[in-house]
Amino acid sequence: MPDSENPATPVTFPPAFLWGAATSAYQIEGAVREDGRTPSIWDTFSHTPGKTVGGDHGDIAVDHYHRYRDDVALMAELGLGAYRFSMSWSRVQPTGRGPAVQKGLDFYRRLVDELLAKNIKPAITLYHWDLPQELEDAGGWPERDTAYRFAEYAQIAGEALGDRVEQWITVNEPWCSAFLGYASGVHAPGRTDPAASLRAAHHLNLAHGLGASALRSVMPARNTVAVSLNSSVVRPLSQDPADLDAVRRIDDLANGVFHGPMLHGAYPESLYVATAGLTDWGHVLDGDLELINQPLDALGLNYYTPALVSAADVSAKAPRADGHGASDHSPWPAADDVAFHQTPGDRTEMGWTIDPSGLHELIMRYTREAPGLPLYITENGAAYDDKIDSDGRVHDPERVAYLHGHLSAVRRAIADGADVRGYYLWSLMDNFEWAYGYGKRFGAVYVDYATLERTPKTSARWYGRAARTGALPETEAV
Q: Which of 173, 361, 433, 453 is catalytic?
A: 173
CB 412, CB 364: distance < 8 Å: no
379 is catalytic: yes
Rg, Å, the chain Cα set: 21
CA-wise closest residue to 127 among 207, 64, 186, 182? 207
Query: What ranges in 302-457 are assigned the alpha helix state H?
Result: 356-369, 397-415
- What distance, in Å, lies between the first and last C-alpha atoms of the chain? 16
Number of neighbours of residue 415 by Cβ within 10 angstroms: 13
159 is catalytic: no
CB 123, CB 169: distance < 8 Å: yes
Residues in Cβ contact with 438 at an 8 Å cutoff, skipping those fewer than 6 apart: 54, 56, 430, 431, 432, 449
Beta strands in 289-336 (DSSP E): 299-302, 307-311
Q: Which of 379, 433, 453, 474 is catalytic?
A: 379
CA-wise closest residue to 206 among 315, 294, 276, 330? 294
CA atoms of 162 and 164, how far apart (whole Å): 5
DSSP string, 372-401: T--EEEEE----B-----TTS-B--HHHHH
> Measuring CA to CA, how many Å separate 418 from each of 77, 190, 360, 372, 377?
30, 38, 10, 9, 12
Residues in Cβ contact with 294 at an 8 Å cutoff, skipping those fewer than 6 apart: 208, 209, 212, 213, 225, 262
CA atoms of 224 and 36, how far apart (whole Å): 30
Number of neighbours of residue 311 by Cβ within 10 angstroms: 20
Distance of CA 126 to the CA centre of its chain: 12
> Measuring CA to CA, how many Å separate 250 from each of 247, 253, 278, 307?
5, 5, 16, 9
CB 243, CB 311: distance < 8 Å: yes
Q: Is 255 in a helix, a strand, or coil?
A: helix
CA atoms of 185 and 278, how far apart (whole Å): 17
The sheet carrying 338-341 orders its strands as 234-236, 307-311, 338-341
Query: What ranges in 162-227 are assigned the alpha helix state H?
Result: 174-175, 181-182, 194-218
CA atoms of 287 and 308, how far apart (whole Å): 36
- Residues with a catalytic annotation lie at 173, 379
